[in-house]
Structure 1
Amino acid sequence: MIHSVLSTLYQVIVPLSIPVIVGALLGRFKNLDTKPLLTLYLYFLTPAIILNTLATAEISMDDIYKTLAFSLLNLCFLWAIANIIGKLLKLGPSEISGLILVSTFTNSVNYGLPLVLLAFGQLGLDKASVYVIGQMIIVNTVGVYFAARSQFSVKNAVKSVFSLPAIYAAILALFLRIFELHLPSEVATGVSMVAGGYSPVVLAILGAQMVKVRAMPSERKGQSVFWTGMIIRLILAPLVAYLGLSILHIDGILFSVLLILASMPVAVNAVVLAERFNASPELVSKCILWTTLASFLVLPILIVLVQGA
């Protein structure tokens, strides 16, 4: 077991950590501005990898239905847990909103996809693509609602979803699959080349963002909320994901991929929502940093467990 974990740590986490460390060093010593890179990631790299993956992915309609069902079931479970714990701890509305963001949204796009590719190969990436598209939609609709229920607008939420180029890339890929069409070979080669740059760029962005996280709140209440968020994301989230997958009778590589993606650290874009709607941004940003660091140890164990299952 220990040998398997160390082997996974070396083969999967070490390659991922190199661009993260480089990004962190550039952010710390060169004050790397991530805003242009985020534009590149959101409007260029993400649509390319989604189109490249979905257009040729080995996924069935059954996989799609099960993935979407799991995404919604897992979201409901984690929302309920965070909400109940928040009320038991007598937290304010802002802190409960922050705790829900920490509990429900994972870094499945710019950390999960490269991890799945290294751990489970192209087939794993194919299975992950549907989940990632679903998460993009959920974050820009339900995520906005969680962060700012009083300011939530269905019209603005739908508008934000259709402002994402990845959605149009997914629609194009589904159109090509339904009508059994293919991109011209030269275009497909160009899209594949762009998609190849996805992992190092987004991981470097993650590293640069991590070094900009503010210090942990020193007051006792802030500490208790922080540790609550850490426990939910690192311990309860994998257990809840396992329960949801068992209820839906999901098995095989789809089970492994979805369990790992649901156990990823806190999503980086959660702090964007937290800052915009004052949903305890310090709590969310600190949980992003520490769940990401802890994931370098937790995820190899989970990968070994699911691969041996």
Structure 2
Amino acid sequence: MEAIFSVLPVYFFILLGFVAKKKFTTQIDEKTLVLLSLYFFQPILIVWGLTKTPINYEFIMSPIFYLIIVLITLSVLIFISKIVFTSRTDESIYLGSALVGNTGNLGIPLGIALFGVESVPYTSIINIANIFFMYTISVYFFAREQFSLKGALFSILKIPAIWFALFALFLNYYQIPISEHIQVALDMGAYTSLTIQLFIFGVYLYSVKIKTIPWKLSLHVSFAKHILLPLIGIFIVVSFTNFNSFVASILIMELMVPLAVNNVNFSVLYNCKPFEVASTILVSSTIFVAILYFYIEIINYFIK
């Protein structure tokens, strides 16, 4: 029950964005918020997260296996997408969004609720792995609708998160100290980024109508995110790792979280049906709330 209540602040800020758009329909420009988040606040969030915990071997394997699980699932989805979708745009949304989970805004606080503050280093570094997947492979699928293969790959290099992540890893690896005043600024920017992402999602949800939800796309994405990915993850964690129950449970939990709001950012940036993407996130988040209890029972099984 505590875990369920821990996600309520997340949905509060989503609702706040929804209400704000309803009240100030023409005054709020969604793309302006997305650009501020993508090019200013998220780079701060990445530097903040990558410099919070020293890099050591103990934390390396969990994000590596997270990426392995995601990439194996992606190979399955590529095969499925050729059969299920006739629209290349829907196929791009499916491949670009289905495996990008909300490992930061939701995964970190949920980890604290389930496992305590000791989980933060693990949830943070898994979130970093998710960010790298998001800003490389996921961005490619969204960008290919607007660019050629060469152009799509080149567009990845324009995303500031990649360069800020490399900069943060450099600072962390060489243990370059960050002054107290800069750390305060990073804290402010990171928490602003987390909040504004949820606000953006709420703003886009205002324009989502139940009758216009692309159910075929949304349900296939939710199946991939909430059923296929966790099942493949559990199989790989149990069969091919020697993680202790604590780390294994955290990794499985991060595979179960709903779709990330960042998917909306990319769909807006590359003109890839942003309202349809917002709909898929809404459906995914609703399904997550409905089956959260069963997820917690599965995680508790691994803790034992």
TM range, smaller chain? 0.7 to 0.9
Q: 1:101 to 1:160 in 2, by over 3 A?
A: closer
2:77 aligns to what? 82
- Corresponding residue for 2:222? 230
| Equivalent pair of 1:266/1:288 in contact (CA under 8 Å) | yes
Correspondence for 2:45: 49
Q: Is 1:262 the counterpart of 2:255 in the alignment? A: yes
Specify the alignment match of 1:3 in structure 2. Answer: none
Q: CA deviation at 1:291?
A: 0.7
State how far apart, in whole Å, the 2-side matches of 1:228 and 1:302 are: 19
Specify whether residues 257 and 157 from structure 1 end up closer, same or farther in structure 2 by C-alpha distance, changes over 3 A only.
farther
What count of residue pairs does the alignment treat as equivalent?
298
Change (3 A) 1:88 1:252: same
Give TM-score scaled by structure 1 length. Answer: 0.77
Partner of residue 153, structure 1: 149
Identity %: 21
CA distance in 2, matches of 1:129, 1:243: 23
1:183 CA displacement: 0.9
The amino acid across from 2:257 in the alignment is: M
Cα contact 1:20–1:205 (8 A) shared by 2: yes
Q: Distance between the aligned counterparts of 1:266 and 1:129, measured in 2?
A: 17
Distance 1:226 1:212 in 2: 16
- Aligned counterparts of 1:116 and 1:158: Cα–Cα separation in 2: 35
1:19 has 2:23 as partner? no
2:184 to 169, 181, 189: 189
1:305 and 2:290 equivalent?
A: no
* Distance apart, 1:214 and its partner CA: 5.0
* 1:183 match: secondary structure: coil
Matches within 5 A, 1:110-259: 110-116=105-111, 119-147=114-142, 148=144, 151-154=147-150, 156-161=152-157, 163-164=159-160, 166-213=161-208, 215-216=210-211, 223-249=215-241, 250-259=243-252
CA shift digits 1:97-149 (9 cap, x unpaired)? 33333432223344444544555455433223333333333333322443438
Using the alignment, how far apart are the partners of 1:216 and 1:81 within structure 2? 30
Work out the CA distance in 2 between the residues paired with 1:130 and 1:158.
26
Q: Which runs of 5+ in 1 are unaligned?
A: 1-5
Q: Which residue of 1 aligns with 2:32?
A: 36
Letter in 1 for 2:255: A
Letter in 2 for 1:138: F
State the alpha-carbon separation in 1 of the partners of residues 92 and 300 from structure 2: 35
Query: In structure 2, which of residues 3, 11, 36 is the aligned counterpart of residue 8 of structure 1?
Result: 3
Determine the C-alpha separation between the residues in 1 that align with 2:252 and 2:150: 30
Q: After the TM superposition, which of the residue ranges 85-94 and 134-143 deviates more from structure 2?
A: 85-94
Whether the 8 Å CA contact 2:18–2:204 is kept in 1: the answer is: yes
Which one-letter code corresponds to 1:266 in the other structure?
Answer: L
1:217-242 CA distance string (max 9 Å, x none): 58xxx644543333222222221222
Secondary structure of the residue aligned to 1:57 is: coil
Find the aligned partners of 2:158 and 2:269 in 1 and give their Cα distance.
20
Aligned alpha-carbon RMSD (Å): 3.4
